[in-house]
A and B are shown apart, each in its own frame.
Chain A
């Protein structure tokens, strides 16, 4: 019994040693999958929770501008897993006081609720298509709350500088091409912060359709944050610039905020 136990332990040690040898070079040079997994966490899961005042400028090719201003609150139930979002709209006037609640689940459709103050109505929103535009902007729901890295296959193309920052360039191809509006995405992931500095989305004809750029990065409470981001539709010339102000992490946001009660009567601090 004892002998057998030792022999088994010996085998485990040998296998573990081999595994370390196999993984060691990869740890020095992370794989494309590891880069995208870390980028996903850095971009969409920093802290236990987050709150920010977001101002989106929607600008058309001819310079016509519309503004969406909202307060976004996020709470993670699990790092890289389930999340809840509560969004309060400040303007424009026709959506003022509207609230929007999302329960995000990895691997299946979100639950989404919209509260319409004029009708005192909580409306359930169909959430099958995560590529839909968020509040009319060039950002899709997935651009706001993240696309799971497991939904794509990734390939590390090269290292490249974006401005002063060293980045890994990764190409991602959706595993289920029918589920999304892009066939290929190329991301420039910052080697220092793991945040995406730039993303290019290519459509079904292989042409460049949308470009994401992180215009401003700030370290807030130890978390690197993209505080100004732009998504440009290269085919229509329309772009959206989103500025994140008053970003706060780990505020111990109450789970009660992500409920029907809060949809109908959002806390006073949100409406200011």
Chain B
């Protein structure tokens, strides 16, 4: 449905192109080629991941994007459609990245349609950003913007005397895109023996729509936010049914949190916390559903020298009812510690009037031992053309969050021409 709608939109965007030229409606876009070569091929290969074990390329695709963004004093329309030619899978597909209508009132902004929403202050550490993500795109080496997926819904933001309140309503649940059985990516699959799988309709009608709220204001130079969300886990839980068959479903979740970001200690300090109330497993005894968790992060970013920036983060993820969780663990299942500690560092150096960027991002868990390392060189050849070359290296214990992706470690290249 999502795809067909995307194709339809792309077609109408192409038609609109002619009209746009005539009436000077802004029309932009790009063409992009991206490829990622798998660097590590682990020997063990579960039957559900045969494709991933065979395929040398994690990514090999070309994309065309059209963006139509007419705007008036009190309204705006944004339509961003893509046509994707996947050389590895031999498919052509359309996608509507964003498509929404903005209405602007004196104290209220309304946004209706498919929109990307980003909350929180973490750098690749998500606590209050409960909105859908495409981890397959991220692992595969596509540009970071593809990690974020749109939500189909309504966002209303009111502004009163420096304080703002955003309310988000999403009637149709959109899950995270994760590596799955039969896909191109390797991952830890405790149920690898079961090939028969079924995913519940990710729009659990009985549970009602997703609702989120963010209250924010700037106080003495600090950006302060409070968040609340009522919806679902974006990653599915799995339950074995007679057959045997694996049933995947999205358990309900509430999230409450806060964040603060401001200038301090000669740089930018970021703080964030959140509580994940896993409504279907408050006792922690359900083996399939995630326990409730508390998450927090502290970050610091500083310009060490002109065009050289360092960002550091420490984050923790504390599981509730850890004893009950341990009792549910069977053989072959991940056994996580009470607290998962994560440290990250990002170093960015710009050269040649900021046209050449060397970046290094390192994320590692000192107690679980898994890691992710991403060095990248990006060069703006001209104002319209850029090229990036980088590595996505995953490693650590096979059942840990990033360790399971070791077999997807890749060397990637992206070239984009924008207009």
Contact = CB atoms under 8 A, between A and B. Distances in A.
| In the complex, the 4 A-B pairs of residues with the closest C-beta atoms, listed nearest first | A136-B354, A93-B418, A92-B383, A118-B145
A238 B306 contact: no
Interface in B114-147: 115-118, 121, 144-145
B263 A109 contact: yes
B322 to A, nearest CB: 33
A91 B419 CA distance: 10
A128 B72 contact: no
A133 B307 CA distance: 7
Contacts of B302: 126, 128
B330 interface: no
A92 B384 contact: yes
A122 B221 CA distance: 14
Nearest to B302: A126
Contacts of A58: 353
Interface residues of A, number: 43
B407 to A, nearest CB: 28
Contact of B306 (A92, A129, A265): A129
Contacts of B115: 120
A162 to B, nearest CB: 27
A265 B104 contact: yes
Contacts of A261: 109, 157, 159, 164
Interface residues of B, number: 52
Nearest to A93: B418
A214 interface: no
B145 A137 contact: no
Nearest to A95: B383
Interface in B176-234: 216, 218, 221, 223
Interface stretch (B9-17, B246-254, B265-273, B359-367): B265-273
A203 interface: no
A121 B118 contact: yes
A85 B215 CA distance: 25
A181 interface: yes
A128 B267 contact: yes
B144 A260 contact: no
A218 interface: no
A133 B216 contact: no
A261 B144 CA distance: 24
Contacts of A137: 353
B267 A265 contact: no
B144 to A, nearest CB: 7
B335 interface: no
Contact of B216 (A60, A94, A131, A260): A260
B418 A132 contact: no
A124 B223 contact: yes
Nearest to B109: A265
Contact of A126 (B118, B164, B303): B303
A103 B221 CA distance: 9
Interface in A79-124: 91-94, 96-97, 103, 109-111, 118-122, 124
Nearest to B72: A268
Interface in B61-112: 69, 71-73, 76, 102, 104, 109
Nearest to A118: B145
Contacts of A93: 28, 30, 383-384, 418-419
Interface string A216-248: 000000000000000000000010000000000
A271 B148 contact: no
A67 interface: yes
Contact of A119 (B118, B121, B267, B355): B118
B306 A94 contact: no
B21 interface: no
Nearest to B306: A132
B116 A66 contact: no
A125 interface: yes
A247 B97 CA distance: 37
A29 B115 CA distance: 62
B221 A268 contact: no
7 contacts: A67-B383, A91-B383, A120-B116, A126-B268, A259-B162, A261-B159, A271-B71
Contacts of B35: none
A238 B353 contact: yes
A120 B100 CA distance: 13
Among B73, B270, B306, B350, max chain A CB count under 10 A is at: B306
B303 A132 contact: yes
A265 B102 contact: yes
Interface string A260-271: 110001001101
Given A96-B28, A126-B303, A260 B383 contact: no
B303 A129 contact: yes
A135 interface: yes
Contacts of A129: 303, 305-306
Contacts of A126: 263, 267-268, 301-303, 309
Interface in B339-367: 350, 353-355
Contacts of B144: 119
A52 interface: no
A132 B306 CA distance: 5
A127 interface: yes
Contacts of B73: 268-269
B353 A133 contact: yes
Given A124-B223, A124-B261, A181-B306, A66 B118 contact: no
A111 B383 contact: no
Given A111-B263, A135-B354, 8 more contacts: A94-B383, A94-B386, A111-B221, A111-B262, A124-B268, A124-B301, A136-B350, A268-B72
A118 B221 CA distance: 25
Nearest to A109: B263
Interface string B300-315: 0111011101000000
